[in-house]
């Protein structure tokens, strides 16, 4: 079975508060990016195997954990997993989460389990905060840790979305280390109803302030996107990739 886990971007990202469990409550509009994908192959096998190409991933990755979760829950047999990485890591594009979610959905299809999407999403959420999004893979408002999802009607039809990976790795821990949670003045779901030309200054990613302070080249690259004609530009997720809408 051949699958193509796609990237996502965050249209706005507000860090609202720190929770008692150590996580943070966030608010963001998750948008799938079908033009940027990894390649994932699931093959029935007598023994489990995990093979990663075009990237170096230390330790147990999310695809392996996804198979183990499905194996422990539903007793599925071993598979060989082949993963070719195109989505940059440490870029805020959700590549690892997409790989995990597509593994769960792929195993469901491969072995004919017919698990409802809501249950697949709940399983995916056990692996990472934004993994559940990729089960549905449509525009959604994300809250909580990113696992509380509400479908929204939103489209970039007629606009040109471009992704700009940067030669900087930003870990989630680094991004959160300097963050100050707060309630935003404007809600994301209201801002995205405005014309794109009005988003600048209103639709913000709270991580930009701290990440740009540590990596000034990212701030310079974002400004260059505006100078190049973007009507909106921002960092996605906890960074470091930038995107622009033309």
Q: Which of 108, 130, 206, 222 is catalytic?
A: 130
Q: Which of 8, 108, 206, 222 is catalytic?
A: 8
Percentages helix, strand, coil for the chain (3-state, rounded to 5) are 30, 30, 40
pLDDT at 58: 63
Q: How far, in Å, are 17, 124, 127, 156, 172 from residue 23 at the CA level?
A: 9, 17, 14, 31, 11
Question: Residue 239 region, left (φ>0) first, then alpha (ψ -120 to 50), else beta?
Answer: left
- Chunked into runs of 10 residues, the chain (246 residues) has average pLDDT values of 98 92 91 97 97 81 96 97 94 95 98 97 93 97 92 93 93 83 92 95 94 95 98 94 97
Residue 174, H or E segment: helix 172-177
Nearest to 203 by CA among 168, 235, 175, 178: 235
pLDDT at 76: 98
Residue corresponding to tokens 């072995």: 111
pLDDT at 59: 59
Residue 211, H or E segment: helix 207-214
pLDDT at 162: 97
pLDDT at 226: 98
Instruction: Tell whether the torsion through CA atoms of 67, 1, 92 and 215 is positive or negative.
Output: positive
Based on the residue annotation, tell me whether 8 is a catalytic residue of this protein.
yes
Domains defined along the chain, listed by start: 2-151 (3.30.230.10), 161-245 (3.30.70.890)
Q: What pTM was computed for the model?
A: 0.93
């Amino acid at each position: 079975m051949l699958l193509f886990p796609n990237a996502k971007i965050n249209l706005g990202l507000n860090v609202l508060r720190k929770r008692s469990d150590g996580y943070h409550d966030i608010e963001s509009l998750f948008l799938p990016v079908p033009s940027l994908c990894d390649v994932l192959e699931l093959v029935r096998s007598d023994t489990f195997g995990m093979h990663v190409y075009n990237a170096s991933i230390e330790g147990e990755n999310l695809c392996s954990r996804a198979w183990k979760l499905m194996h422990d829950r539903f007793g599925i047999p071993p598979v060989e997993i082949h993963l070719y990485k195109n989505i940059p890591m440490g870029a805020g594009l959700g590549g690892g989460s997409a790989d995990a979610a597509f593994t769960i959905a792929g195993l469901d299809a491969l072995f004919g389990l017919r698990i409802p999407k809501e249950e697949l999403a709940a399983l995916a959420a056990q692996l990472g905060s934004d993994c559940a999004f990729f089960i549905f893979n449509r525009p959604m408002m994300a809250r909580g840790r990113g696992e509380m999802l509400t479908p929204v009607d939103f489209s970039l039809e007629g606009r040109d979305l471009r992704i700009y990976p940067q030669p900087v790795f930003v870990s989630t821990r680094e991004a959160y280390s300097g963050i100050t949670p707060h309630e935003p003045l404007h809600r994301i779901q209201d801002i995205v109803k405005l014309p794109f030309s009005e988003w600048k200054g209103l639709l913000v990613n709270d991580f930009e302030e701290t990440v740009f302070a540590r990596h000034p080249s990212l701030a310079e690259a974002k400004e260059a996107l505006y100078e190049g004609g973007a009507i909106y530009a921002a960092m996605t997720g906890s960074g470091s990739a930038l995107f622009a809408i033309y």
